[in-house]
Structure 1
Amino acid sequence: MNPMIENPAGEQPDAASSLLRFITAGSVDDGKSTLIGRLLFDSKGIFADQLDAMSRSKHKRTIGDAVDLSLLTDGLEAEREQGITIDVAYRYFATPKRKFIIADTPGHEQYTRNMVTGASTADAVIILVDVSKVKLSEDGGDGDVELLIQTKRHSTIAHLLKIQHIVVAVNKMDLVGYDQVVYERIVKAYREFAATLGLKDITPIPLSALSGDNVVEPSANMAWYQGPTLIELLESLSVYDQSHHAPFRFPVQLVARHNGHQANDFRGYMGRIEAGKVSVGDHLVVQPSGQRATVKDIVTLEGSHASAVAGQSVTLLLDEHLDISRGDLLAGADKPATLLKNVVADVCWMADEPLDLRRKYWIKHGTRQTGAKVTKVDTLLDINTQLRHPAEGLKLNDIARIALTVQQPLAADAYDDIRATGAFILIDEVTHQTVAAGMIRLET
């Protein structure tokens, strides 16, 4: 690992012009891949050879000479044959105002675990609602709109993962004649459901990904909508990284030594600052050992620096000679992380095999990996009602609160406070497959 640094001066980019990571989520055939294809096509983010390859694809699913834009992200042969997204596909594109990384995630319940993977690093999520699938009652009274279960599931995951911005894209408006009343009824129903989750930053937008209405260009068919197009909205979203103002957290990835032929004894601790900032002279604590340390220097490829902030990869030199290795955490001495042997967490079960309370797992938390055992499944979350019910086991895509014990203590924070030190994955000891993604909850 090279101790590279992206911003050695420690200056933060303008929030509205920084890189935006976002995902698309929704049910099967809601138009997620088509929407991304439309974004790339209309924003001139497709090369000519890509366009030519799509037009000649044997799995083209459009009428006449129209280009099947979904093929831009449906890269697997099985995806093209079935017309569904299976794996997470990442695409990069840029406009004059911003750079973007898109994750196109599957809509089928079977692949919800893939959606969790894509959402774990996202700043925003576009939740697509297909107007042709939403059930609308004739009288239009209370409870007249029934949202799909996957819409609720993906919104719940977005809430649990603390994604900052929720964009509700009411898609395929062309199928209902661009009816404003239908749009407003769906938005009202979604806001009511979102209130039960505690989601706040919600922006709805009516569009048609297939025809391009309100994606990049305003829709002449929906003159009643006065808001921004989707691309204008994405360009304007502010990415506020709360980790810059959190207590200092530095998981040690590697201990760097010189080759032993120099007079000075260079020992540096390499890694990425996950939260807070650090300056020369700061007092730190090594966790879980509890040893105290003082920052002597902050080194990058560009040389020494007086300070560094969250998101930067650096090498820290300390005044003291201490026993520090990969898996340890350097934290601010004034606000260290909490040491946990017993962990309470919300998890999304991602394995085909159900949870077996008799088995042991590996827990990967930051740079530390140690043995873990699930001791109890406390409650299972009902996606429809958002109520929690007692449960004894977990199966694929279940979301539950569990208790587990770990062999070595974890230096952790609540996920709501610091995502990097509040998240973990569980790994099967035998198959080495990731079986769950978890978010630590510190009970007060």
Structure 2
Amino acid sequence: MNPTQTPAIAPYGPGTAADTLRFATAGSVDDGKSTLVGRLLHDSKSVLADQLEAVEHASRRRGQEAPDLALLTDGLRAEREQGITIDVAYRYFATARRRFILADTPGHVQYTRNMVTGASTADLALVLVDARNGVVEQTRRHLAVAALLRIRHVTLVVNKMDLVDCSEEVFARTAAAFADCAAALGVTRVTAIPISALAGDNVVRPSERMDWYAGPTVLEHLESVPVGADPHTESARLPVQYVIRPQTAAHPDYRGYAGQITSGVLRVGERVTVLPSGATSTVVGIDTLDGTAADTAWAPQSVTVRLADDLDIARGDLLAPAATAPRPVRALTATVCHLGEQPLHTGRQVLLRHATRTVRAVVTEVSSRLDLQTLAERPGPDSLGVNDIGRITVRTAEPVALDGYADFRRTGSFLLVDPLDGATLTAGMADAPAAATTVEGGV
């Protein structure tokens, strides 16, 4: 499979994150994720001298002659002692072309939920596969999570090619199997790169041992893949986080609604709807963080919006253009990944957290579970266990202005929370509003 190179894009304007790539690594145990990340940091000269010295010292204590670059990401003592990744390790680095926020996620099946956390804001997923083992169940699980989270770019990294004599046939076979799995999950575009993270082949510099491969290195791909979406092509969404009323002599009647724009562009003079109430008004002012007024603001800026009318608006409400506002619902269907140790079953009382809003809810149906061996949905499960991916229906006590996750990643996602201790139970991605049913009455 030949990878497709894509050109770099310019930032959209001040405050944009278009020049920052958020990406997550995933793969089975011992596939070499942490080694790849360490090699990426080391060869791109993003490691400080004292960090490298600490890694060299720790490696010598473990009887290793060469520095174990995986230690650059396995930061917890328990991880270093066991030689595994447990928690999500975030690293920040930059090259001349782009800034990066990297989430190195665990490979053990019991930590799949950590991948959901690490990849929830990612633009790209690097899925590692051991060239000797090919696509295994955990590969399918991580690919399913990437598809579930609608990560725009999925990259297959076939590692440990040096252990299969840098065979082009092995790489092609693995890439084809991965592409078939991806297509079954709705992922239509995959870039595949053969590497040896331990030796550095095709990580930052091209490999002389794999001269049959003409595609980009891992770093070249990360530097060139398009990031984000142009906010001018999306409808605006502003979850209200705080109502600002300074009550000062200079501004006795000031009332502003502060929050971070999650998508699109807001403009002074635009007609907006307040959800879930359905009240409408006109934007008469936009104040930025530095206190200056602006005519427009776009995602992901944090702003304060002033409206022409004195409406009853509070934290948890959502501002959206009147013409494209979502329809508030009290019943929704969604694909979810269950994160809690206790199973999620029909009738479970929960709290649903959507953007800045939290409402009481109940799980009315657990309709199916994804079989990671066949990638088919198995109908009628009794419940979802930890790390299970499935389909559920939820009814809320109050209307919620959910978008479809496929169209609006931030306002189409939600969490189910235990009302007793506040523990996160489930991460959900809502169907489009047209697939939901409005239900009268509460929980």
Alignment TM-score, normalising by the size of structure 1: 0.92
Contact 1:93 1:99 in 2 (8 A): yes
- How far did 1:238 drift? 0.7
Q: Structure 2 counterpart of 1:310, which letter?
A: A
- How far did 1:260 drift? 4.2
Does 2:418 correspond to 1:417?
no
Contact 2:247 2:253 in 1 (8 A): no
Decide which of 391, 396, 403 is 1:406's aligned counterpart: 396
Contact 1:286 1:328 in 2 (8 A): yes
- How far did 1:133 drift? 2.3
1:193-342 alignment runs, 5 A limit: 193-241=181-229, 244-262=232-250, 264-300=252-288, 301-342=290-331
Query: 1:330 & 1:417 partners in 2: Cα distance?
Result: 17
Instruction: Give the structure 2 partner of residue 392 of structure 1.
Output: 382
Query: 1:60 & 1:83 partners in 2: Cα distance?
Result: 13
**1:431–1:14 Cα change, 3 Å:** closer
Does 2:53 correspond to 1:52?
yes
Decide which of 424, 431, 443 is 2:421's aligned counterpart: 431
Contact 1:61 1:68 in 2 (8 A): no
Once the two structures are overlaid, the 10-residue window that deviates more, 243-252 or 317-326, is 243-252
What secondary structure sits across from 1:212 in the alignment? coil
Q: Structure 2 counterpart of 1:222, which letter?
A: M
Unaligned runs of 5+ in 1: 1-8, 135-146
- How far did 1:302 drift? 4.5
Instruction: Give the structure 2 partner of residue 20 of structure 1.
Output: 21
**1:238–1:42 Cα change, 3 Å:** same
Does 2:43 correspond to 1:42?
yes
Decide which of 175, 178, 181 is 2:163's aligned counterpart: 175
1:133-172 alignment runs, 5 A limit: 133-134=133-134, 147-172=135-160
Instruction: Give the structure 2 partner of residue 127 of structure 1.
Output: 127
Query: 2:382 & 2:53 partners in 1: Cα distance?
Result: 53
Once the two structures are overlaid, the 10-residue window that deviates more, 341-350 or 182-191, is 182-191
Query: 2:407 & 2:59 partners in 1: Cα distance?
Result: 49
Once the two structures are overlaid, the 10-residue window that deviates more, 255-264 or 36-45, is 255-264
- How far did 1:58 drift? 6.5
CA RMSD of aligned residues (A): 1.8
Q: Structure 1 counterpart of 2:424, which letter?
A: T
1:49-128 alignment runs, 5 A limit: 49-57=50-58, 63-64=64-65, 66-128=66-128
- How far did 1:264 drift? 3.2
- How far did 1:82 drift? 1.1
What secondary structure sits across from 2:328 in the alignment? strand
Q: Structure 1 counterpart of 2:269, which letter?
A: G
Q: Structure 2 counterpart of 1:363, which letter?
A: L
**1:59–1:408 Cα change, 3 Å:** farther
Alignment TM-score, normalising by the size of structure 2: 0.92
Q: Structure 1 counterpart of 2:397, which letter?
A: Q
- How far did 1:352 drift? 1.0
Decide which of 365, 368, 374 is 1:376's aligned counterpart: 365
**1:263–1:84 Cα change, 3 Å:** closer
Q: Percent identity?
A: 50
Query: 2:246 & 2:63 partners in 1: Cα distance?
Result: 60
Aligned residues: 422
What secondary structure sits across from 1:116 in the alignment? helix
Once the two structures are overlaid, the 10-residue window that deviates more, 311-320 or 255-264, is 255-264
- How far did 1:270 drift? 0.3
Query: 2:396 & 2:361 partners in 1: Cα distance?
Result: 4
Query: 2:13 & 2:41 partners in 1: Cα distance?
Result: 32
- How far did 1:76 drift? 1.2
Query: 2:295 & 2:86 partners in 1: Cα distance?
Result: 47
- How far did 1:244 drift? 4.3
Per-residue CA deviation, residues 223-250 of structure 1 (Å, 9 max, x unaligned), is 1111111111111101132654222211
- How far did 1:67 drift? 0.4
Q: Structure 2 counterpart of 1:45, which letter?
A: S
Per-residue CA deviation, residues 349-383 of structure 1 (Å, 9 max, x unaligned), is 00111124343111110000011110110111112
Contact 1:54 1:60 in 2 (8 A): no
Q: Structure 2 counterpart of 1:78, which letter?
A: A
Query: 2:88 & 2:61 partners in 1: Cα distance?
Result: 20
Contact 2:273 2:281 in 1 (8 A): yes
Instruction: Give the structure 2 partner of residue 32 of structure 1.
Output: 33
- How far did 1:331 drift? 1.0
**1:256–1:343 Cα change, 3 Å:** same
**1:275–1:101 Cα change, 3 Å:** same
Query: 1:47 & 1:149 partners in 2: Cα distance?
Result: 37
- How far did 1:186 drift? 0.8
Q: Structure 2 counterpart of 1:19, which letter?
A: T
- How far did 1:431 drift? 2.1
What secondary structure sits across from 1:40 in the alignment? helix
Does 2:360 correspond to 1:359?
no
Per-residue CA deviation, residues 159-207 of structure 1 (Å, 9 max, x unaligned), is 1111111110000001111111111111111112212112122110100
What secondary structure sits across from 1:222 in the alignment? coil
Contact 1:59 1:80 in 2 (8 A): no
Q: Structure 2 counterpart of 1:355, which letter?
A: L
Once the two structures are overlaid, the 10-residue window that deviates more, 96-105 or 194-203, is 194-203
Contact 1:166 1:202 in 2 (8 A): yes
Contact 1:60 1:68 in 2 (8 A): no
Q: Which runs of 4+ in 1 moved over 4 A?
A: 9-15, 58-62
What secondary structure sits across from 2:141 in the alignment? helix
Query: 1:263 & 1:178 partners in 2: Cα distance?
Result: 70
**1:71–1:355 Cα change, 3 Å:** same
